[in-house]
Amino acid sequence: MSVDFSKNATERPEPCKAEIKVRYGDALFPVSISHSKPSNFLLFRAITFLNHTMPDFTDNGASNFIKYGNDYYATSETNYISKIDPVTLETLEKVDYLKYLPVNLASCHPHYDKEGNAYNFGTSIATKGKTKYVLFKVPAVSDKGPALKNVEVICSVPCRSLLMPSYYHSFGMTDNYIIFVEMPFKLDILKMATAYMRGVSWASCLKFCPEENTLIHLVDRKTGKEVETKYYTGAMVLYHHVNAFEDDGHVVFDVIAYTDNSLYDMFYLSNLKEKSQFDEKRFSNELFLCGGNMVKLKYTTASAVKEKEGKFMCQAEVLCEGFELPRINYDINGKRHHRLCCVVAKFDTETKKMVYWGEDKCLPSEPVFIPRPNGESEDDGVVLTSVINSNPGQSSFILILDGKTFKEVARAYVNTELNKDMHGFFIPH
């Protein structure tokens, strides 16, 4: 650590101030303390103690794959990602976000624009006394070295709590806006810092506060500034954004929302027989101020009503129930969609009809939609999913479904054991 002391050069004694830079991994984070503020000094002592006792974040990239420039990475939600060979899947090197920008955590679901630039969110914890959510852009093209070296911070969104930032797994993006949902599902930093010593998992450090509202942030992609209007909805937990789009002055986004945090709890062996309620919900935020329900779109019952102090309370439309791991044709990301897939089904947002694929003792993964080159419709393409086959004497397989009919096109059996995965990524040749 480095210490920079300063004292008022007068005969009258003045409080002594110091800025201590505490190292986390390869990055230095400044913490200001003062003898006149004992609470700050105690916080510094706690951080110093934890810095020497807590282990580094995991580099287990088991959640998803990310493309930054021409490089591919396996990722979780920490500051570590693993560069991989896209052909052999061999791990090449461990990469630390902190070498390029001050984020301790990062989403494993970035977005990409038409030029191939990647957009992502990360959480910067207690940097210069503030915790914030950092929106950053990684360019598609880099002259030399990794594209991350040219990362650009677009916007910083203040966190509502210094030591309890919101957990998030994904976010939404339209042509002009970024949608970031700050839920009352929080990561307790002090509990997380002591988790190793207490022998508990990350899940035990998450806290759901049902008495608090969810805050919806809109960031203007062109200006890099947050829209001043504040949008709220009731307490919820979400992991996956389906899509977001703009329509007649509205920003509409679909998410998979839970009424509580029971998704994590249900994975404990004692709770595996319990069910967690989750729905696909549609929100609509009007960008122009007006009285009453601002949402004027005829195809949704979602509402946004102006309340005191100029804030707006949003009410979602429930499109369907029991829907998770959603995927769309990413070619229309940011545009209005009508069809989406889940594990493993196809849902029509207009007719509310759903078709399924299923086979006895077979467990499919999250589907990946691969559009047909120059396809004529949203669902013109194929759906790819890996299937764990527990039928005796039968191998697991890769399943290909027709995007329009959802009928099986082909399957390829694999001579290896497949494990249940979280997310998939298609790399064209």
Has residue 95 been placed in a domain? Answer: yes
Has residue 192 been placed in a domain? Answer: yes
Vertex 60: Cα angle to 58 and 66 (nearest 5): 115
My answer on whether 393 and 415 are in the same domain is: yes
Split into its structural domains, the chain has a count of 4
What is residue 13's predicted lDDT score, i.e. its pLDDT?
44
pTM: 0.82
Diameter of the chain measured on Cα atoms = 87
Has residue 331 been placed in a domain? Answer: no
How far apart (Å, rounded) are the C-alpha atoms in residues 185 and 169? Answer: 11
From 11-20, 106-115, 340-349, the region with the lowest mean pLDDT: 11-20
Judge whether 35 is annotated as a binding position.
no
Has residue 333 been placed in a domain? Answer: no
Which residues contact residue 411 at a Cβ distance below 8 angstroms, ignoring those fewer than 6 apart? 387, 397, 398, 399, 400
Confidence class of residue 265 from pLDDT cuts 50, 70 and 90?
A: low
How far apart (Å, rounded) are the C-alpha atoms in residues 12 and 32? Answer: 23
DSSP assignment of 35-86 equals TTBHHHHHHHHHHHHHHHHSPPPP----SEEEEETTEEEEE-SBSEEEEE-T
**Partners of 320 in beta bridges:** 280
The alpha carbon dihedral of 58, 61, 66, 71 has a sign of positive
CA 186 → CA 71, 108, 158, 163, 198, distances in Å? 32, 17, 14, 9, 19
Average pLDDT of the chain is: 83
My answer on whether 171 and 151 are in the same domain is: no
**pLDDT digit string, tens, across residues 67-109:** 999 999 999 898 999 999 999 999 999 999 999 999 999 999 9
More confident residue, 388 or 129: 388
My answer on whether 318 and 411 are in the same domain is: no
Q: Could you count the other beta carbons within 10 Å of the beta carbon of residue 267?
A: 11
**Partners of 206 in beta bridges:** 187
End position of a domain, from candidates 292, 324, 356: 324
Has residue 81 been placed in a domain? Answer: yes
Has residue 329 been placed in a domain? Answer: no
My answer on whether 295 and 388 are in the same domain is: no
From 39-48, 130-139, 210-219, the region with the lowest mean pLDDT: 39-48
End position of a domain, from candidates 115, 139, 159: 159
**pLDDT digit string, tens, across residues 193-246:** 787 788 887 778 899 999 999 999 999 999 999 999 999 999 999 999 999 999
End position of a domain, from candidates 114, 143, 159: 159
Has residue 334 been placed in a domain? Answer: no
Residue 293 pLDDT greater than 80, yes or no:
no
Confidence class of residue 58 from pLDDT cuts 50, 70 and 90?
A: low
Report whether 116 contacts 95 (CB < 8 A): no
Q: What is the DSSP letter of 255?
A: E
What is residue 9's predicted lDDT score, i.e. its pLDDT?
39
Q: What is the domain range of residue 37?
A: 2-53
My answer on whether 37 and 111 are in the same domain is: no
What is residue 325's predicted lDDT score, i.e. its pLDDT?
87
Which of 187, 10, 152, 131 is closest to 68 using CA atoms? 152
How far apart (Å, rounded) are the C-alpha atoms in residues 295 and 271? Answer: 40
Which residues contact residue 373 at a Cβ distance below 8 angstroms, ignoring those fewer than 6 apart? none
My answer on whether 181 and 299 are in the same domain is: yes
Judge whether 217 is annotated as a binding position.
no
My answer on whether 306 and 375 are in the same domain is: no
Beta-strand relationship, 231-233 and 214-220: antiparallel
What is residue 274's predicted lDDT score, i.e. its pLDDT?
52
Residue 27 pLDDT greater than 60, yes or no:
no
My answer on whether 80 and 45 are in the same domain is: no
How far apart (Å, rounded) are the C-alpha atoms in residues 127 and 131? Answer: 6
My answer on whether 130 and 174 are in the same domain is: no
Burial of residue 419 (number of CB atoms within 10 Å: 0-12, 13-18, 19+): exposed
From 47-61, 94-108, 171-185, the region with the lowest mean pLDDT: 47-61
What is residue 15's predicted lDDT score, i.e. its pLDDT?
46
The mean pLDDT of 294-303, rounded to a whole number, is 86
My answer on whether 14 and 130 are in the same domain is: no
What is residue 260's predicted lDDT score, i.e. its pLDDT?
86
My answer on whether 221 and 114 are in the same domain is: no
What is residue 63's predicted lDDT score, i.e. its pLDDT?
87
My answer on whether 118 and 202 are in the same domain is: no
Confidence class of residue 404 from pLDDT cuts 50, 70 and 90?
A: very high
Residue 364 pLDDT greater than 60, yes or no:
yes
